[in-house]
A and B are shown apart, each in its own frame.
Chain A
């Protein structure tokens, strides 16, 4: 036995053993995978071929004529043919161009070749075999078989060359090419075949191929799995440590693309009925914010169906609208997975390989779905966080607004809980009730005076139930407040809040109004009563023909009517001065005083009051003569009224050069004004001798006189005040700017 033959035998045996081993591994690993099935078939047929060859050689050494040799050779032929076809099929699977048509073709070819071989065996045609002494087998092939082998080998080599990029392992390319070459040697040259070179080369090629496939299908994926687990861990960490949504999204896309060895990746987020591209990795930035409708494009379809999509070739397999501009031109393989959180699609993650890039496998879909789940949680979380952040910000803003409002309002605001313990008091309330710093939580009854609290609880509770508010009046520190009480919290009452409105001024206005009505009523009714009574008497007298007192009666009626007229005039004057603008002219102060004296002389005479003027200046000043005269007359009239019969009233006019003012003084030696009332006499409807006050009750008037004086003087840019001592008399002062210094506004 020659050395080459021994080597061949050894090699064959080894190949056989290894191939069987690989076969087992493949079958054990995953029999359902198409590639594995074809690989297993390929290995089986190569084993058959080798086994046949080995058997034939071994048998021929024992007995050349044995019919078993023929059977062995047939087996070898079967294996050879089969492996030739299987090599082609395997290649086709590897490059991914298999199709149903191809499968039918491959099986048909296989059947024809096998049928032909079977036909030869059955017909017991002696195979053209030569067995040399050293045990080499030489036999010629039938031309039909040769044609088949040639076709399949060439097809295999063509496929490998055509799709060399798809087979990323160079070793696999080498192995498959070598196998095809080895087989070709076998049928092209029987001599070489005889030397078993064909078998040897093919065996080595099978080993190489097997190793490559094992590496590609098992070792590399296993190694990848380890790195993927690590990567997954990294991704999870990276995603979950981020809060800002933009960072999270860009992390996810970058990681997804890097992880799957993809060329680009992007995330679409669900915005209502559309998807918006939110982040891209390795895609043009200008695509960001481009939108696709739900159900359109791969992304839209995925979002609508909740199902992942994997394409091996976008251009060839996708018939819908393109997801992005230029997608048809640039996209190759693609995976798109939905990002689902709480049953809703919040977006889709798309990973793309270029047209010259890799092809994604089904398991990549699973990986990406895993990442997608993580990403969905991360996106949802960061959205929730952002929403919560925004909500917190809004709540904070509203709180600070409310606080500012409560702090700055002049209305005291107090809130208590259900146990009537203080929750809140604004600065106004703190001031009003003189609250300390540590009053929160103390009972309201200990903090505020009893009069500030509602009396009883039944009425407040009933009001709160019916009208949601209970209003009561509180008098505190000389001011009157309306306290609005309302419940805090709905539907369950958590406490109550009280807002106090200062209504002191309104109350005062109300008092003034009542006072005015009362005074006007009183002042008008007395003369009215007198006039009416005398009219009745008059008509009685006339009826009886008694005319002795008619003149007196008529005179009385006349006087009473005059009085009423004066009172009404006074009220109207006040309104006129209040609403109108005075017509200012330069007037002599002395002249004013003289006119006043002139007008009041007869009244003074009536009361036996001595009325005199002291004129100490020739000053002039701007005045509305009629109004200013009215003011002076009012003061003098007042002075006469409050002076006992036989008293004195003096009107003095002088000037203060330094101040540039004219000073009028109206002095009397009458009853004087009690100190407590001096502040009040200029108020509207104040009148000396109100009920309970001792003093000048005999004076009738509208209570408007001094108010009118003040109004007139102020409209002249001046001031009016008084000095008085009870029992000794009163002096009223009026000062006005001298000589044109008054500027009419």
Chain B
């Protein structure tokens, strides 16, 4: 497993790198955003770890967005900048799968890295055929999602999320179950994660994100995926 670390603080960069190498990861280090983006294209890492405040005119958020334009590679933000939940949401909205606030213990950091990688590798049983109603189609095996016939990119976390909801289509999945199934046991208390990702997901797949029809909120309980009657295209 190859991990790219983009971090301007040399002391932190080195420490994280040493820890990951020690735990058996292959590590690529990078000192600023632009360099990091180049390294991403050159090295094709399985996971990217991004600092937010970095020199060189390209901060972590920009790097994340640029990565998201071309790949679904899991991205973990690691920042000292965040103070409020909105800062975290900003990061997640840029396409990150994970947002860790400094200082973080190395052991926890590694655990999160592993959880994130685990999440990216979905095992799908043969029974799961996915979903297709003419407007929205989800192919669980090929990890393809189409909206109105157009392929859209989902981050690994987003894909895992919709897969879990689809698996329980018509039933309410509560917050804890969602956190545990999508993110992992370590995340059980990060209750704002589902909210942010659900809204991301809605923006990508719902016809009108303000009035969702697929992913419905059960107030104070959780979320529910609702299958829609097939749309018959006028061309057919």
Contacts and interface: CB of A to CB of B under 8 A. Distances in A.
Interface string B1-22: 0000000110110111011001
Interface stretch (B51-59, B195-203, B213-221): B51-59
B81 A518 contact: yes
A474 interface: no
Interface in B69-87: 80-81, 83
B107 interface: yes
Contacts of B191: none
A537 B19 contact: yes
A533 B80 contact: no
Which of B22, B55, B104 has the most chain A CB atoms closer than 10 A to its own CB?
A: B55
Interface string B37-73: 0000000000000000111110100000000000000
B102 interface: yes
A529 interface: yes
Which of A522, A530, A559, A694 has the most chain B CB atoms closer than 10 A to its own CB?
A: A530
B15 A534 contact: yes
Q: Is the interface of B mostly helix, strand, loop or mixed?
A: loop
Given A689-B55, A697-B54, A697-B55, A533 B81 contact: no
Nearest to B78: A529
A689 B106 CA distance: 29
Contacts, number: 75
A689 B55 CA distance: 8
Given A529-B102, A691-B53, A696-B55, A534 B11 contact: yes
Given A529-B102, A530-B11, A533-B12, A522 B81 contact: yes
A536 interface: yes
Contacts of A537: 15, 18-19, 106
A6 interface: no
Given A556-B11, A559-B11, A522 B105 contact: no
Nearest to B31: A698
A694 B33 CA distance: 13
B105 A536 contact: yes
A555 to B, nearest CB: 10
Contacts of B106: 532-533, 536-537
Nearest to B11: A530
Contacts of B16: 533
A536 B103 contact: no
A521 interface: yes
B105 A532 contact: yes
A569 B83 CA distance: 22
Interface string A554-595: 001001100000000000000000000000000000000000
Contact of A529 (B8, B12, B22): B12
A521 B55 contact: no
Contacts of A556: 11, 14
Contacts of A534: 11, 15
Which 9 residue pairs of A and B lie closest in terms of their CB atoms, listed nearest first?
A533-B15, A525-B80, A530-B11, A698-B55, A697-B55, A529-B103, A529-B102, A525-B102, A536-B106
Interface of A: 514, 517-518, 521-523, 525-534, 536-537, 540, 556, 559-560, 689, 691, 694, 696-698
17 contacts: A514-B83, A518-B81, A522-B81, A525-B102, A526-B9, A526-B12, A529-B104, A530-B9, A530-B12, A530-B15, A533-B11, A533-B12, A536-B15, A560-B11, A691-B59, A697-B59, A698-B56
Given A521-B83, A532-B105, 18 more contacts: A525-B102, A526-B80, A527-B11, A528-B102, A529-B9, A529-B103, A529-B104, A530-B9, A530-B12, A533-B12, A533-B103, A536-B105, A556-B11, A556-B14, A560-B11, A689-B55, A697-B55, A697-B57
